Amino acid sequence: MTPEQYLAPYAVQSETARGRRHDEAAHASRSQFQRDRDRIIHCSAFRRLEYKTQVFLNHEGDMFRTRLTHSLEVAQIGRSLARNLRLNEDLVEAVSLAHDLGHTPFGHVGQDVLNECMKDHGGFEHNLQSLRVVDKLEQSYGAFDGLNLMFETREGILKHCSLANAKMLGPVAQRFIDRTQPSLEAQLTNLADEIAYNSHDIDDGLRSGLITIEQLEEVEFFARLWHEVQTAYPGVSGRRAIYETLRRLITALADDLIATSSALLADAQPGSVDEVRASGPLIRFSDGMRKDATELKRFLRQNLYRHYQVNRMRVKASRIVRELYDAFSDEPVLLPPDYQDKSGDEGKQVRMIADYIAGMTDRYAIREHRRIFSLEEL
Ligand code: MG
């Protein structure tokens, strides 16, 4: 039995998948998507996720999520969901592990600053950068640049994309022009990402003291689960109560997604991935759960992501990224030779600068900033 024989007809399968940009013989003991997952785990951008910010700066505490632990949580949730729906677990795992490879240091602020700096040169977007990492920037293989991943893995990584960029990218972005859906595995990974960050950002927010249980009790969904835990375990203490609540929250979201999507799939009965692409979204939360999840997201945005202490970090980080960009674009000779463009093409040079900065970990960016601007450190 091959590892993919239990999959539903609407799941992506190695045999009928759209393949790689550079042809390679099938591997004797691994499916195409197991192979993609392995390539991602072995690449250097993956290791750097360990030192990149999710919400809290990497050096603020050892207990907080980083981009790496976030990606592992997405993969774990995604695989459970995929197995329940008889979708391709290996593809979900590969996309989950790769989805944040293009993130800049310091989280979303790094992206926003680079996008602003690059506005006359095509902008900067982290999804697109994740694809660029696996298509081009990783350089480990003799026969090609990048990791030469399967079409379906690349499609899953490219979660969003502007129309202008879609026209430039070719087949992998055609769906943004045609307004069709990606595979069910891509749709699922997107929601596994949301389940993961909604729950772990509450956990990290509480641990940091920036948000409190009293505030969270205003969120109906959280309050319901919190009180369930208090009833089941009267007098249960701090961390234990939080963990018990968050495990229920993940379960509630996951169970709802499985039930809702199963019903949609039973109704639509897509017979192939092509039929999936041509229908509406089939992996979804119920309307009630969508409302709950949106309320939770809104709470986190207002109370955690915009907390004044997070703002301080954000403003400081944006200054570091902007000053690095300005210094490198004014004086490309400050760049390591691999990132200096010899062709005299300004667009190419600034793209290489964006690649260099986006590839940095938080601590590397801070160190590089000090090396360039500190007069004490010559
Ligand atoms: Mg993510």
pLDDT tens string 131-144: 999 999 999 999 99
Cα(346) to ligand 1 centroid in Å equals 32
pLDDT the model gives residue 59: 63
From CA 162, how far away is CA 146, in angstroms rounded? 23
Cα(94) to ligand 1 centroid in Å equals 13
Cα(305) to ligand 1 centroid in Å equals 15
Cα(295) to ligand 1 centroid in Å equals 19
| 3 has pLDDT over 80 | no
pLDDT the model gives residue 63: 81
Please choose, from the candidates 282, 326, 289, 16, the residue with its C-alpha nearest in 3D space to the C-alpha of residue 151.
Answer: 16
pLDDT the model gives residue 38: 98
Cα(88) to ligand 1 centroid in Å equals 19
Cα(271) to ligand 1 centroid in Å equals 30
Cα(76) to ligand 1 centroid in Å equals 13
Cα(323) to ligand 1 centroid in Å equals 26
In a domain, 18, yes or no: no
In a domain, 355, yes or no: no
Q: For the chain, how many structural domains are there in total? A: 1
Residues 6+ apart with CB under 8 A from 62: none
Cα(247) to ligand 1 centroid in Å equals 19
Cα(179) to ligand 1 centroid in Å equals 23
| 222 has pLDDT over 70 | yes
pLDDT the model gives residue 5: 81
Cα(59) to ligand 1 centroid in Å equals 19
Of the candidate ranges 113-122, 304-313, 321-330, the one whose mean pLDDT is the lowest? 304-313
Cα(198) to ligand 1 centroid in Å equals 10
In a domain, 192, yes or no: yes
- Percent with pLDDT over 90 in the chain: 90
Cα(97) to ligand 1 centroid in Å equals 9
Cα(331) to ligand 1 centroid in Å equals 34
From CA 142, how far away is CA 211, in angstroms rounded? 50
Tell me the residue range of the domain where 219 lies.
Answer: 30-309
In a domain, 340, yes or no: no
Cα(54) to ligand 1 centroid in Å equals 8
pLDDT the model gives residue 58: 62
In a domain, 24, yes or no: no
In a domain, 282, yes or no: yes
Cα(71) to ligand 1 centroid in Å equals 6
pLDDT the model gives residue 62: 78
Cα(13) to ligand 1 centroid in Å equals 24
| Phi-psi category of residue 107: left, alpha or beta, with phi > 0 → left and psi -120 to 50 → alpha | left
| 164 has pLDDT over 70 | yes
pLDDT the model gives residue 237: 85
Cα(163) to ligand 1 centroid in Å equals 22
| Phi-psi category of residue 170: left, alpha or beta, with phi > 0 → left and psi -120 to 50 → alpha | left
pLDDT the model gives residue 377: 67
Helix, strand or coil for residue 369?
Answer: helix
Cα(99) to ligand 1 centroid in Å equals 6
pLDDT the model gives residue 4: 81
In a domain, 364, yes or no: no
Cα(189) to ligand 1 centroid in Å equals 9
From CA 176, how far away is CA 164, in angstroms rounded? 10
pLDDT tens across 272-325, in order? 999 999 999 999 999 999 999 999 999 999 999 999 998 999 999 999 999 999
- Percent with pLDDT over 70 in the chain: 98
Over residues 261-270, mean pLDDT: 97
Cα(288) to ligand 1 centroid in Å equals 23
Cα(194) to ligand 1 centroid in Å equals 7
Compute the mean pLDDT over every residue in the chain, rounded to the nearest whole number: 95
**Residues facing residue 53 across a β-bridge:** 66
For position 120, which CATH number holds? Answer: 1.10.3210.10
Cα(334) to ligand 1 centroid in Å equals 32
Give the number of other CB atoms < 10 A from CB of residue 56. Answer: 23
pLDDT tens across 168-196, in order? 999 999 999 999 999 999 999 999 999 99
Cα(1) to ligand 1 centroid in Å equals 33
Cα(116) to ligand 1 centroid in Å equals 22
Burial grade of 218 (CB within 10 A; 0-12, 13-18, 19 or more): exposed
Please choose, from the candidates 350, 307, 347, the residue with its C-alpha nearest in 3D space to the C-alpha of residue 331.
Answer: 350
Over residues 7-28, mean pLDDT: 94
Cα(242) to ligand 1 centroid in Å equals 22
Cα(38) to ligand 1 centroid in Å equals 19
From CA 53, how far away is CA 76, in angstroms rounded? 20
pLDDT tens across 29-81, in order? 999 999 999 999 999 999 999 999 877 766 677 788 899 999 999 999 999 99
Please choose, from the candidates 30, 33, 29, the residue with its C-alpha nearest in 3D space to the C-alpha of residue 16.
Answer: 33
Cα(343) to ligand 1 centroid in Å equals 36
In a domain, 280, yes or no: yes
The C-alpha R_g of the chain, in whole angstroms, comes to: 22
